[in-house]
A and B are shown apart, each in its own frame.
Chain A
Amino acid sequence: MKSIPILIVGGLLASVMASLPALGQQPVELTFVVTEGEYSAQFRGILDLYEEENPNVTINLSSVNEDTEAAFEARIAAGGAPYIRDLVYPDADNYKTYVNLLERDDIENFGALSYDGAGAFEGVTGIDGVQPALNVRTNPFRSFIYYADEMEKAGLDPKSIQNLDDFMQFLADLKVYVDGNPDIEYVIDAGWLPGAWGRFNPEVWSVGLGATKQEIRDLYTGKIRWDDVDKNPMTKYFRTLKEFYDKGYMPERWWTRNWEQEFEASFISRRSILTFHGPWLFDKVQAVDADAQLDGFFWPPNRDGKIWGPEVTSDYGSVLYAQRQDDPEFAEAVKLFNWWNSPATVKLRSEAIGFVPAMDLSSVGGADLTNDQYVKVIKPVLDGQVYGGAKFDYSLCGRCAAERMRISGTPRPLQDNQMAEIYADYLEGRTTLEDTLAILQKRWERAYQAG
C-alpha cells in the first residue's frame, strides 16, 4: 500500500523521461499547416499522394484556427515556424515572415496562374519586388442562398429576378410568405462576423445596389469622402440595410447573433430560407441534409452591367516560412510547395473543396467542380445564362486598393467588432445616416494616410 504513491510518481517520471525528444534523424519531415481545419481530411488525402510518390518524405499536417492562432504566432516568433502554410493573408505588416518567392529561382507555377500572381502583392501593397504567397484560388464568391423547395412552396422563383426592382419585389413577397408561415422567422437571415459585415458585404451589396467597384476603390483610397452622402457609393447600402431592418426583413439585433450557432444554425434548421453567404454554408447544410435543394443568385448587375466578382490577390495563398530557408530540408519543402501548387494538384484541391481555380488547368483537363455553389450559382454567370449575360467584375476590392495607404497596425475602417455598435446605433435609429458616414470618415482617417 505504502509503495503505491511512489509507483505513481515513478511512473509519471518515467513517462516524462520517455517523452524527451528522441535523438536520431528521420529521413525528411515537413511541417504543413492549414488554416481550414475542416478540410484537413481532404488535404490529407491529397498529401498522401505526395507521400506515396516520395517515400522519404513525411508530411506533418496540422491546422490552426482562431483559438490556436495566438499560440501558433508565438511559436513562430520564437523560431518554431513550420515549412508551409496554406491559406494566408499576407500584408504589409507580416510579409517578412514569409519567403519572398520572387527571390528564389526554384518556385514554379507562377506562369500557369490566370492572373498576375507574381505582381499581386505589389499591386495591393505597393511593396516593390516582393511576393510572399502563391495563390491559386479565385477568392470565395458570395451570393444569396435559398432553399429551392421552400421557395417553390412559397410560390416564389428567385431565378426570375432580372433587376433590382424585381429583387425588392421578391423580398416583399417573401416577407408576406414568412409572416404567414410560423415555421419561418426571417426574410434575410444574418448574424455577426466582422469579416462579413466589415469586409465583404458592404462592398458586394453596394455593387449589387448599383455602385461600381471603381467607386468603392475611390472611396477607400480617399478620392471620395465617406461623409459625402451624395457621392459615397455605400450610401445606398446603408439606406437599404436600414430599409430592410425597418421592414423586418432581418433578425432583430442581428449584429448580436452568433454567426455559427445562431445565424447559420437557424438557416440550416430552416427557420429562414434565404440568406447571404459564402460557399461553406452549402457544405454545412448538405452534411446535415444531403437532399437539401440549395440554390442561389447574385445581386443583379450594376449600372455597368457587372456583377461583383471576388478579386484575386495573394490572399488565400500558400507560403513558405523565411525562418526555415536555411534548413537542409528546405529544398524538399520547396519541392512539396511546387507540387502543392502544380496544376494537377490544384485540380484535385479545387474539386475537393470546391473553389474556382485562378489557374489555367487545361493541361490537366480542367477542374470538374460539382459543388452546388459552382454548378447552380457561379457557372450560369460564367456561361452567360443569367442577367442577360452580365459578367463578373474581378477587379480589386476597395479595401484591397487602400492597403498600400494603411497605417501599420490600425484596424481597417469597417472590419472590426466596434462596427457592430455602429450598425446598432444606425439601424436602431440612434444615429442618422449622416452621423454614421461621418464616423466612418473618422475611422478611415485613422486607418489610412493619403499618398
Chain B
Amino acid sequence: MERKKRLKNLSIAAILAFYCAISLVPFYFLVIRSFTPTLKSGEFYFWIPERPEVQMNARLGNLASVNNIDITKLKKDFGLKGYIDPRLTLQQLAERQGIDAGELEEYLRPFIQYNGIFVVLSNGFLKSLWGTIVVAGSSVAIGGFLGIMTGTALAGFRRPWHLFVYNSYLLNMIVPPMMVILPQYFIVTQFLGLQDSYFAIVLLHIKGGALSTMVFTTYIAAIPKSLRESVAMDGGKHYHYFWYILLPLMGTPFAIFASIMMPLFWNDLLLGLLFLSPEKYTLPAFVATLGGAYGRNFEAVFSGVLMSLIPILVVYFIFQKLFIRSAMAGAVKG
C-alpha cells in the first residue's frame, strides 16, 4: 500500500513538473529571443546564439536602421559637432572625426552584442517603466478604492436604482473599448485639457469598471450587516465603518481586482499610444514603436517584452500570498 501511494505521489509530481515546464517554456524562449539578432530570427535556437562582433566597415546608417544605434547620442558621447553622414563606415567616421577606432569599437560593442537590451535601455526604458508604474499603480490603487466605495453604496441593492447603476456599470463589459475611444479622446483632451498626461490614462482606467464593481459589490454584500450596525452602536460614523472595518476586509477582493486588472493596465497599448507623446510612452507603447516601415528590431522587441515583464513578475512575487488567497477565495471558507 505504502509503495503504491508513493508511486501515485511521484506520478502526480511528475505531471505537475511537466505542466510547470510547458508553462515556463515560452518564458525560456522569450529570454533566448531577447538575445537572438533579428536577422537570425529565422533560425531556431535552444541556447543564446553567438554574439555578433562590431564590424568597423559597417555603415553608420545601416547600424542606425537595423540595430537602432542612436547617432545623436553617439555624437554627444564623443563630443562630435555638425552633420554626421550616415553613409560613413565606422572606420571612416573614426578617421574623419579623429576618434580612436578602438574606442569607438568598445563603445559600440555592447550595443551590437546585446542589441535588444541596449536598444531598450538607451531608448528610455526606465522612463517608460516609471510611467507604466505610475499609470498602472495609480489605476489599481485609485480604481480599487473607488470600486470599494461603489461597492459599499450598491451592496445589497437596497434601492431599485442601485440595480440600475450596477447594471449600467456591467454594460461597460459589452461595449468594445474601440467604440468609445474617440469620444473619450475628445472629452479627456478637449474638455479636461489632459494632453500628454498620465492622469488621462489613469482617469480612463478608473472610470466605473465592470469588474471592480462586480467584485467589490458582491464581496461587500457578503459582509454581515451587523458589523456596520455594530460600528454605529459603538459610536462610529459611516466613514469610521468604511475606514476601520470595511477597508481592512477588502484584501481578498482587492487582490482579485488587482491580479486581473494590473496586467491589463500594465499592458495597455492603445491608451498609451493615443494620449501620450513618445517621450512619455508607457512600456507597451514604447515596445510597439521599435518597429519601422520595412523592418523591425525583433531582438529589441523581445527584450522590451522581457524587461517589461520583469517588474510585474516582481510585483506578483511580493504579493504572492495575497494573490493565492484571492485565487482560493470562495473555494475554502476562511
Contacts and interface: CB of A to CB of B under 8 A. Distances in A.
A binds B: yes
Contacts of A37: 289-293
Given A41-B71, A44-B72, A65-B293, A74 B181 contact: yes
Contacts of B277: 60, 62
B62 A283 contact: yes
B47 interface: no
B62 A287 contact: yes
B71 A348 contact: no
Nearest to A77: B182
Contacts of B295: 38, 260, 264, 280, 284
B69 A36 contact: no
B199 A287 contact: no
B63 A287 contact: yes
A19 interface: yes
B83 A74 contact: no
Interface in A1-42: 8-9, 12-13, 15-17, 19-21, 35-42
Contact of B87 (A70, A280, A351): A351
B39 A283 contact: no
Interface stretch (B186-194, B209-217, B304-312): B186-194
Contacts of B257: none
A71 B59 contact: no
Given A20-B197, A79-B186, A287-B66, A352 B294 contact: no
A66 B296 CA distance: 10
Given A41-B69, A68-B285, A288 B52 contact: yes
A261 B189 contact: no
Given A38-B293, A269-B39, A288-B39, A44 B71 contact: yes
Nearest to A370: B87
A67 interface: yes
Interface stretch (B9-17, B133-141, B160-168, B225-233): B133-141
Given A12-B141, A287-B63, A352-B87, A78 B291 contact: no
Interface string A286-307: 1111110000000000000000
User: Which of B42, B137, B189, B291 has the largest count of A CB atoms less than 10 A from its CB?
Assistant: B42
B274 A39 contact: no
A19 B198 contact: yes
Contacts of B62: 283-284, 286-287, 290
Interface stretch (A45-53, A100-108, A357-365, A443-451): A45-53
A353 interface: yes
A286 B55 CA distance: 10
A279 to B, nearest CB: 9
Contacts of B293: 35-38, 65, 87
Interface residues of A, number: 66
Contact of A39 (B65, B83, B199, B202): B65
Nearest to B133: A12
Given A19-B198, A20-B197, A288 B190 contact: no
B274 A74 contact: yes
A286 B57 CA distance: 10
Interface residues of B, number: 68
B64 interface: yes
Contact of B193 (A21, A65, A261): A21
A40 B69 CA distance: 10
Contacts of A65: 288-289, 291-293, 296
A19 B134 contact: yes
Nearest to B59: A286
Contacts of A391: none
Given A21-B195, A36-B292, A283-B61, A75 B39 contact: no
Given A21-B194, A46-B83, 10 more contacts: A19-B199, A20-B197, A21-B193, A41-B68, A60-B277, A65-B296, A68-B289, A77-B182, A271-B42, A284-B39
Interface of A: 8-9, 12-13, 15-17, 19-21, 35-42, 44-46, 48-49, 60, 62-63, 65-68, 70-72, 74-75, 77-80, 87, 260-262, 264-266, 268-269, 271, 278, 280, 283-291, 348, 351-353, 370-371
25 contacts: A8-B141, A9-B141, A15-B130, A15-B134, A15-B198, A16-B198, A16-B202, A20-B194, A21-B193, A36-B293, A41-B65, A41-B69, A41-B72, A44-B71, A60-B277, A70-B270, A71-B273, A75-B273, A261-B42, A265-B39, A268-B40, A269-B40, A287-B58, A290-B62, A353-B61
